[in-house]
C-alpha cells in the first residue's frame, strides 16, 4: 500500500457527537422528546435522501434541520436552520486521529481525504489537523456524494495509483466500505459508533476491522 484514504466525518471527526450537540438545544427548546440514537437514525434517513442529487453540502445541512422541524411539527425561528453550519467549526476530532495520522505519514504513506463535504467546510476542520494530507477529494469537487462510485473513481484518477496500492478507511458501511469494495479497493472499517448517523445496511466484510485508528498501525 502506498496511499491510505480516509472518510472524514464519522471516522476522523466525531460527527455524531457534533450532530447531537448541535441539534439537542433545538429539540429541548421545542419540547421534542427524542433520544440521541433517534436523532442519528432520522438524520441518516434525511441526509441520504437529500444527497441522491447533488446540492452543496451547506444546503443539505440547512434542509436537514428544516426536515426535522417538519417531522416533529414545530416552527423554526429565523436562522435556526443554520444550527449545524454554525457549529461545524466546533466538531471535534477523535482523540486518536492526530497521533495516528502523524505516525502514518512518518512511515512513508500518503494520506488522502475523501469526504461528503463542501471545500470551505473542510477547511474549518483541517485547522485541527496536526498532519499534512496529500490528496483531498470532496463532493463539491466531484458534484456527487458517496456512496456514488463516481467520487471513488475520481479519487483513483487523482491518485494515479493502482487499486491494490490504496487502503480506504471509514466508519460507514453505506457511504464507504461497500462502494469501495465493489470497486476492488481494500477497506479498513473503524468501529466508532455502530451505524451512527449513516443508513442501516447489511454488514459486509471489510479487509480489516479495527476498534480505533491507532490499531491500524499494526498492519502498516
Categorise residue 75: left if φ over 0, alpha if ψ from -120 to 50, beta otherwise: beta
Kindly state the helix (H) or strand (E) to which residue 210 belongs, with its residue range: strand 208-210
**Greatest Cα pair distance in the chain:** 53
Closest CA to 91 of 129, 57, 63, 138: 129
Backbone angles phi, psi at 103, to 5 degrees: -70, -40
Q: Is 7 a catalytic residue?
A: yes
Dihedral pair phi/psi, residue 209, rounded to 5°: -125, 130
- Separation between Cα atoms, residue 137 and residue 124, nearest integer Å: 15
Question: Beta-carbon neighbour count of residue 202 at 10 Å?
Answer: 7
Q: From the CB of residue 220, how many other CB atoms can be counted at a distance below 10 Å? A: 13
End-to-end CA distance of the chain: 8
d(CA 55, CA 39): 23
Active site residues per annotation: 7
Amino acid at each position: 500500500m502506498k496511499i491510505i484514504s480516509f472518510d472524514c466525518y464519522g471516522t476522523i471527526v466525531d460527527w455524531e457527537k457534533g450532530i447531537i450537540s448541535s441539534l439537542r438545544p433545538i429539540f429541548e427548546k421545542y419540547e421534542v422528546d427524542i433520544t440521541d440514537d433517534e436523532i442519528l437514525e432520522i438524520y441518516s434517513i434525511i441526509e441520504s435522501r437529500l444527497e441522491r442529487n447533488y446540492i452543496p453540502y451547506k444546503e443539505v445541512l440547512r434542509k436537514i434541520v428544516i426536515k426535522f422541524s417538519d417531522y416533529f411539527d414545530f416552527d423554526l425561528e429565523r436562522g435556526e436552520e443554520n444550527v449545524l453550519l454554525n457549529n461545524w467549526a466546533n466538531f471535534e476530532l477523535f482523540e486518536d486521529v492526530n497521533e495516528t495520522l502523524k505516525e502514518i505519514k512518518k512511515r512513508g504513506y500518503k494520506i488522502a481525504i475523501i469526504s461528503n463535504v463542501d471545500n470551505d467546510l473542510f477547511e474549518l476542520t483541517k485547522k485541527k489537523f496536526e498532519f499534512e494530507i496529500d490528496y483531498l477529494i470532496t463532493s463539491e469537487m466531484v458534484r456527487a456524494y458517496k456512496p456514488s462510485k463516481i467520487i471513488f473513481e475520481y479519487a483513483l484518477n487523482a491518485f494515479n495509483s493502482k487499486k491494490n496500492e490504496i487502503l480506504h478507511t471509514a466508519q460507514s458501511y453505506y457511504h464507504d466500505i461497500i462502494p469501495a469494495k465493489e470497486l476492488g479497493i481494500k477497506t479498513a472499517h473503524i468501529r466508532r459508533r455502530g451505524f451512527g448517523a449513516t443508513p442501516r445496511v447489511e454488514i459486509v466484510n471489510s479487509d480489516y476491522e479495527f476498534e480505533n485508528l491507532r490499531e491500524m498501525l499494526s498492519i502498516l
